[in-house]
Structure 1
Amino acid sequence: MDHFQPATTAEHLLWLLAEHGVEHLFLNPGTDSAPLQEAIATLAKAGAPAPKVIICSFEAVALAAAHGYWQVTRRPQAVFVHVDVGTQNLGAMVHNMLRDRAGVVVIAGKTPYAEEPGAPGGRSHTIHWQQDVPDQAGVVRGYAKWVTEITRPGMLARAIGRAVQVATGGVPGPSYLMVSRDVLMDPPAPELGRTTGYAVPRPPAADPETVRWIAERVAGAERPLLITAKVGRRAEGFHAVTRLADLARVRVVDLAESGCVSISTSHPMNLLTAAEAQQAVEESDLIIVVDADVPWIPRFTHPREDATVVHIDVDPLKTDMPMWTFPVDVAVTADGATALGQIADRLEEIGHTAPATRPAATATATSTSASTTASAATSGAAEGPMTGAEVVTALNEVLRADDLVVEESVTNARALHENLGRTEAATMYGTGSPGLGWGLGGAVGVSLASPGRRVVTVVGDGSFMFGVPTAALCLAAEAGAPIMAVVLNNDGYRASRLPVFELFPEGLSANRGDAEGTRFSAPPDFAAVARACHAHGETVTDRADLLPALRRGLEAVEAGRSAVVDVHIIRD
């Protein structure tokens, strides 16, 4: 510990986080965080290592930012929340961490144990009894990967080391620690404990025999198909998918809800449209599913009876999804990027050359819808309301290949997937999970982890409000991590309206083209909200104003200021 000797467990905790590679502590303070706040000042004065503290005004936004940071770096960050109520405010973002397999260390305060007069950190407010609940960890127990309480200083070093190790390794996920402020004020343990030896397991590879078997099936298949959602989370996955597509003319379905890009949208083997993907599932004789929770919807499509289905995943049993029952002939426990690389290596070893008769994908750089809407989006000549696809096409005009796009566009996700050009690895982020409100905070985390890069998040108007924009824009300013939010504003919850039409096609709602509880009668002025948070804000209702507004938003980001471009699109 060099020349610094901690005087409290709180000081020791911060030092340990830094020693284990945690660079940021997203802090939402409360009565239980006082020892940490004082420890932060003490370590700074002593020049001792500690995570950079970033104040957050809402817990869910803090966790979304830590999640976004993980997606870029694969390094877990720490989030501090106030006892049980702060834990509850993490909300659906905990679900997203579970489903996206993202590592984070959540540290929650706990009601102090001491009551006697003069006890350091003991109970001193009414809330210290009110917040003493039977099972605080139960709030997240079904979603956290590991839960424990630090009850005495002697266990701190082991608890922090284990929390980072478990959050990062195997199937990554949230670690949840609890610690009361009286424990934080205790002197540290005489033996401060080791900070090494908490090795993170290397990504699992497939066994050679399985690799050989799969490679032979790829070489012999007439219509091989690769379906993935998240293997492109890492650049290695993007390159492995591309190699396999190039070597064996394997067609690729990069699922629209993945929130990442696993192969260039301009690659000739990339099936961009839903119709192409469905047809490929139904006609392929070999389907390899890699890092995909839902490879197809059985209600609408399914593989042919004689198709061989191979499933590659670090958890192919999907034990956290009780009714995951897709038909699989061969299940492989392996890291997707690693296994695909092994298969490509084997194909090269045997000198495999794909027959020219294998079909290519029909999609190219952009889909038909993109090309037909390009002129309308850029010229301002067309009449009528804009579509989501037109906005995405306009984004293609202003984005650079290395710009980072964060997606939470909900019912416009398909338009984004089919029309947005993404040709470089690790330039697309999103959770691929249903917990709405992630896009703004997640984009701040992506920006924080990518200094100097332009970050654009595309969100629906519902997602924008779920994301607590005041808190997210405040966080972006505090972190020095500006973002541009492009809001696809269709004036309501379209995602909640469409199921009503689907289930009751002849019902009153479908006949009138609306459903109760899905339209805002007095929506906020999103651009005004942005300006109130010291960000650039614009509202776009006319095609002619779209491109200039997007360019002004990006100029604001380049100048270190966040921006919100609220684009009103067609209501349906």
Structure 2
Amino acid sequence: MYTTSTAFLDALQDAGVSIIFANLGSDHPALVESLAEARATGRPVPRLITCPNEMVALSAAHGYAQVSGRAQAVVVHVECGTQALAGAVHNVAKARIPALIFAGASPFTQEGELKGSRNEFIQWIQDVHDQRGLVRGYMKYDNEIRTGRNVRQLVNRAFQLAYSDPKGPVYLMGAREVMEEAVEPTGPLAWTPPLPPAPLPETAVEAIAGRLLAARRPLVVTSYLGRRHEAVAELLRLCDRLAVGVLESVSNYMNFPLTHPMHQGIAWNEPVQNEALAEADYVLVLDSDIPWIPTVNRPNPQATIHHIDVDALKQQMPLWYIPAAGSFQADVATALAQVNGRLDTLPADERLVGERRAHYGARHQRLDGALEALERPTDGGGVTPEYLVSRVRRFVDDNTIVLNEGITNYPVVMKHLRSGRPGGVFTSGGGSLGWNGGAAIGAKLAFPDKTVVALTGDGSYMFSVPSSVHWMARRYETPFVQIVFNNGGWRAPKFSTLAVHPDGYASRADDIGVSFDPPSDYAGIAAASGGALGLTVHAAADLDSALEEAFACVRTSKRAAVLDVQVPHL
């Protein structure tokens, strides 16, 4: 029998969904039956990946879409499963990641009036007033499937919005009776994909090109331009031509090669004024949520600022503004191509460009030297985060994807990995911890031939639900290297407290509630849950051999590996 669930699966297949990351429940009998029928008859439907934890399921869909650009589906159980997604919902929304979430709903009949009517006690308990409201503030679209007769239209509408810039997650729900409804099969829908944002107005192109040519210290600030590989190439073209400096702020991707002489560093939460930002007389902000933190670091007040962003309004942020002379919602790759095209027709002052090149190149050399000086063990032979990343770097090639959830070591990873390849390194783009484990599985499913490396703090490791992650990695043959920066607790809350109360009681207290002493056996959790290779490293002298064993295990033996590396205690 062809049901709403069958039509739903067909619609996902037509939309290019490869995988359903599923945490099934009592609201999914029709979906389970349709999947079984498809397997028995050979009808193509997306692959089902069983996810024991909902956060891991959506994090896997997040990672898959992030590295491939293709949205996947997540299926969860009524409002309980929807709530269990919470942290991952935040991440996909803030990172502008397309994903379709489908949740069942409690049956709406209780006397057997329709197939799927209530027959289990839990279905009264799980019937809530506004299930969609749990996630509405994070979704680009939410709706309820009320009949199978238009389920294809609803799925297409959902994906139309998920893929429209700024991209994001969408949410559908359907009760058991509706998902069991018999319907007539229909053919796939040929809907036009959403149009990209409009190109820059010619007046904006003229203004930006003019400022880039005339400024003494032009500076680009970006955070997630690297999500579009074409944008990286256009930015390189611009900076090579005019010697424009590039500052990354809270970088989520590889936006600009760290080894390039125009790279002026990466800014995060450091309580200092950035030199390049302070001296710039023209700032071009490209795809950035937090170009600077005004309480400690702000641009030159005399600087002209232009802002180009796929999400110029920052629709998910109630408070956001920068003093821009012009702000434009546009695809940054397209906009930079327009600016570069205009610059092709305009003469540049080569003396000015040469002076910029020398100035920015000299600062780049100083920054590079400072990074190199940090890449050594402690005096006692221990492992610093900087040394750890520098040793991991030797194993990262063009066929490697690195996922960075280092939290207080976010900038350490980005700086010392020294990636120069678009699509080589990612962060979650959000603020809810635990993304890295599920994302590693999703990235590996998207690109089975690539080596996936997850760098994580000990706190974010535990948030990632490693028991579920490593069970999935073994079952679905998605091995990855996971390296835990074990500093013994949550360093971020400690830093936040000291930033506000540098001389307060907490600054003198031995315990402020952020320590993980005694620590868990992080490597042992992965070994017990998924048969992963588990290694613990205390000394720098043991690090290289442990890394060699871990990468060989993943690349040759096809088994996940977890390194618990002891770094200086918080």
The two structures share one fold, judged by TM-score above 0.5: yes
1:72 to 59, 67, 70: 67
Q: For 1:14-163, what aligned pairs fall within 5 Å after superposition?
A: 14-117=9-112, 119-163=114-158
The code of the aligned residue for 2:248 comes to D
Sort the Cα spacing of 1:370 and 1:306 in 2 relative to 1 into closer, same or farther, 3 A: closer
- Conserved? CA contact 1:370–1:390, under 8 Å: no
Query: Partner of 2:561 in structure 1?
Result: 563
Query: Partner of 1:357 in structure 2?
Result: 355
Query: Partner of 1:285 in structure 2?
Result: 281
Q: For 1:218-297, what aligned pairs fall within 5 Å after superposition?
A: 218-255=212-249, 257-274=250-267, 278-297=274-293
Is 1:345 aligned to residue 346 of structure 2? Answer: no
Give the alignment's TM-score, normalised by structure 2: 0.94
1:59-111 deviations in Å (ceiling 9; x for gaps):
11110110111111211100000000000000111111111111000000011
1:460 to 450, 457, 471: 457
Q: CA RMSD in A?
A: 1.9
- Conserved? CA contact 2:273–2:297, under 8 Å: no
- Conserved? CA contact 2:62–2:92, under 8 Å: yes
2:497 to 500, 519, 533: 500
Q: Count how many residue pairs are aligned between Structure 1 and Structure 2.
A: 560
Give the alignment's TM-score, normalised by structure 1: 0.94
1:18-71 deviations in Å (ceiling 9; x for gaps):
011111100111011221111112112222221111110101111011011111
Q: CA deviation at 1:561?
A: 1.2
SS of 1:149's partner is: strand
SS of 1:222's partner is: coil
Query: Partner of 1:408 in structure 2?
Result: 405
Q: CA deviation at 1:192?
A: 2.6
SS of 2:138's partner is: coil
Q: CA deviation at 1:448?
A: 1.4
Instruction: Output the CA distance in 1 between the equivalents of 2:523 and 2:498.
Output: 31
- Conserved? CA contact 2:381–2:539, under 8 Å: no
Query: Partner of 1:3 in structure 2?
Result: none
Instruction: Output the CA distance in 1 between the equivalents of 2:337 and 2:486.
Output: 41
SS of 1:142's partner is: helix
Q: CA deviation at 1:396?
A: 1.7
The code of the aligned residue for 1:517 comes to G
SS of 2:412's partner is: helix
- Conserved? CA contact 1:254–1:261, under 8 Å: no
1:526 to 515, 522, 535: 522
SS of 2:92's partner is: helix
Instruction: Output the CA distance in 2 between the equivalents of 1:396 and 1:259.
Output: 18
Instruction: Output the CA distance in 1 between the equivalents of 2:340 and 2:18.
Output: 36
The code of the aligned residue for 2:479 comes to P
SS of 2:455's partner is: strand
- Conserved? CA contact 2:273–2:296, under 8 Å: no
Task: Between 167-176 and 384-393, report the one with greater CA deviation.
Answer: 384-393
Instruction: Output the CA distance in 2 between the equivalents of 1:86 and 1:529.
Output: 24
SS of 2:554's partner is: helix
Query: Partner of 2:205 in structure 1?
Result: 211
Is 1:421 aligned to residue 400 of structure 2? Answer: no
The code of the aligned residue for 2:243 comes to R
Sort the Cα spacing of 1:170 and 1:502 in 2 relative to 1 into closer, same or farther, 3 A: closer
1:544 to 541, 545, 548: 541
1:522-542 deviations in Å (ceiling 9; x for gaps):
321011111112111111001
Instruction: Output the CA distance in 1 between the equivalents of 2:157 and 2:477.
Output: 30
Q: CA deviation at 1:212?
A: 2.2
Q: CA deviation at 1:307?
A: 0.7
- Conserved? CA contact 2:20–2:49, under 8 Å: yes
Where do 5+ consecutive residues of structure 1 fail to align?
A: 1-5
Instruction: Output the CA distance in 2 between the equivalents of 1:333 and 1:505.
Output: 40
Sort the Cα spacing of 1:182 and 1:169 in 2 relative to 1 into closer, same or farther, 3 A: same
The code of the aligned residue for 1:284 comes to A
2:331 to 330, 335, 356: 335
Sort the Cα spacing of 1:499 and 1:374 in 2 relative to 1 into closer, same or farther, 3 A: closer
Query: Partner of 2:394 in structure 1?
Result: 397
Sort the Cα spacing of 1:353 and 1:164 in 2 relative to 1 into closer, same or farther, 3 A: farther
Sort the Cα spacing of 1:329 and 1:289 in 2 relative to 1 into closer, same or farther, 3 A: same
The code of the aligned residue for 1:204 comes to A
SS of 1:557's partner is: helix
Q: CA deviation at 1:277?
A: 7.8
1:538-572 deviations in Å (ceiling 9; x for gaps):
11001111111111111111132111111010013
Q: CA deviation at 1:353?
A: 6.2
- Conserved? CA contact 2:308–2:327, under 8 Å: yes
Instruction: Output the CA distance in 2 between the equivalents of 1:370 and 1:551.
Output: 24
Instruction: Output the CA distance in 2 between the equivalents of 1:363 and 1:458.
Output: 26
1:425-479 deviations in Å (ceiling 9; x for gaps):
1101112321111111112211211221111111000000000011112222333
Where do 5+ consecutive residues of structure 2 fail to align?
A: none
Identity in percent: 35
Q: CA deviation at 1:400?
A: 1.9
Query: Partner of 2:318 in structure 1?
Result: 322
The code of the aligned residue for 2:325 comes to D
Q: CA deviation at 1:365?
A: 11
- Conserved? CA contact 1:388–1:569, under 8 Å: yes
Instruction: Output the CA distance in 2 between the equivalents of 1:285 and 1:38.
Output: 64
1:299-349 deviations in Å (ceiling 9; x for gaps):
112222221100111231223211102211111110122212221222123
Instruction: Output the CA distance in 2 between the equivalents of 1:527 and 1:352.
Output: 57
